[in-house]
Amino acid sequence: MRELSEAGQTSSQEQQEALRGQDLVKRFGAVTALEGVSLTLRRGEILGILGDNGAGKSTLMKILTGYHQQNSGTLYIDGQQILLRSVDHARSLGIECVYQDLALANSLSIYHNMFLNREIVYPGPIRLLNNRAMRARAAELLEEIGVQVPSVDLPVEQLSGGQRQAIAVARAINSNARILLLDEPLAAMGAREAGLIIDLILRLKEKGNLSIAMIMHNYAQTLDIADRVILMQRGRVTYQQDTANTSVTELMEIVRREYRAMRSA
C-alpha cells in the first residue's frame, strides 16, 4: 500500500520536472567545480541561479547543455535518465542555451544569425540558401515574441547589447526548445536593455510549455522574474526557495555569513 502511494508520488513529481540533476560532480584537474549538485527545473517555471564568482554556475549550465560531461551524478529529462553526449544531442532533446559570450556572427545580418548552423536551403543537390524563407521566418518570429528591430537585414554589430541578447534568445527558441538555459542574460546591461530581456523572458513564460533556468547577478531582479531561486556556493547548492518566500535581505545574509566564516577560518 505504502509502496503504491510512493510510486504514485514519484510519477507526479516526474510529470512536473523538465530537467533534473542528481549529485553532479565536475572536476577540472585539481579543481572540483561541482561537489555534488542536485537541482530540479520544473515545467513552465523560471529558476534563478545565484552565486559568487567561481561558485560553479556556468559549469553546471554547461553540463545541462551537454557541453561538459559530469564526472559523476545523473541527469534526467522528463524524469528519464539521460547521458548528454554533446550540445547537439541536448539540442535534439529540446535543450537550448544562450552563453554569456553569445556566439553571434557580428558581421552577418540578424536573420542569418537566427539561422546560423541551421540554415534553410532549397531542395536539391547544391546547398543553396533560401534567404527569402529565412528572412520572412526571422521577422515573423521576432514579431511573435515582441522583439523590435529596425530590419532583419541589419548586421548584428549595429544592434545594442540588449537587442543582441534578444536575438540570441530568439535564435535559441527558434528550434522548439522546451528548456532554455541562460548564462547571465542581463550582465553588463543598462536598465532599459535589461528591461527588454526581462519582458521577453516573461512573455516566453506566459506562452507556456517552456522551462527556463537563468544565472543571474542581481538579487532584486532575480526575485522579480524567477519563480524559484537557488544559491550556489563553492560548488554546492546551499539554499533553494520559492521567490515568494525569500527576500534580498535573506539572500544577502546567507552570503554574508559565508564571507564571515571564510575570513575567520
Ligand X SMILES: Nc1ncnc2c1ncn2[C@@H]1O[C@H](COP(=O)(O)OP(=O)(O)OP(=O)(O)O)[C@@H](O)[C@H]1O
Positions touching ligand X (CB under 6 A) are: 28, 31, 33, 51, 53-59
- DSSP SS3 for 76: strand
> Taking Cα atoms as reference points, which of 154, 179, 182, 155 lies closest to residue 168?
182
Largest CA distance in the chain: 69
Which among Mg ion, ligand X, none contacts residue 51 (Cβ within 5 to 8 A by kind)?
Answer: ligand X
- For ligand X, the closer of residues 55 and 231 by Cβ is 55
> Is residue 176 a contact partner of residue 182, using CB atoms and an 8 Å limit?
no
246 interacts with, out of ligand X, Mg ion, none, CB within 5 to 8 A per kind: none
Task: Choose among Mg ion, ligand X, none what residue 122 binds, the Cβ cut-off being 5 to 8 Å by kind.
Answer: none
Between the alpha carbon of residue 129 and those of residues 108, 115, 122, 207, the distances in Å are 14, 10, 6, 31
- Residue 109: name its binding partner from Mg ion, ligand X, none (Cβ under 5 to 8 Å by kind): none
* Nearest to ligand X of 94, 235 (CB atom): 235
User: Could you tell me the smallest distance in angstroms from the CB atom of residue 122 to ligand X?
Assistant: 40
For the CB of residue 183, give the shortest distance to ligand X in the complex, in Å: 7
Q: Please give the distance of CA 16 from its chain centroid, rounded to a whole number.
A: 18
The partner residues of 82 in beta bridges, in order of sequence, read: 75
**How far apart (Å, rounded) are the C-alpha atoms in residues 92 and 244?**
34
**Please, which residue, 29 or 125, has the CB nearer to ligand X?**
29
Nearer to ligand X, 36 or 54 (CB): 54
Interface positions with Mg ion (CB under 5 A)? 58
The nearest distance, CB 57 to ligand X, in angstroms, is 3
**CA–CA separation, 163 and 212 (whole Å):** 19
User: Please, which residue, 52 or 78, has the CB nearer to ligand X?
Assistant: 52
Could you give the CA distance from residue 222 to residue 46 in angstroms, rounded to a whole number?
A: 10
28 binds, among ligand X, Mg ion, none (CB under 5 to 8 A by kind): ligand X
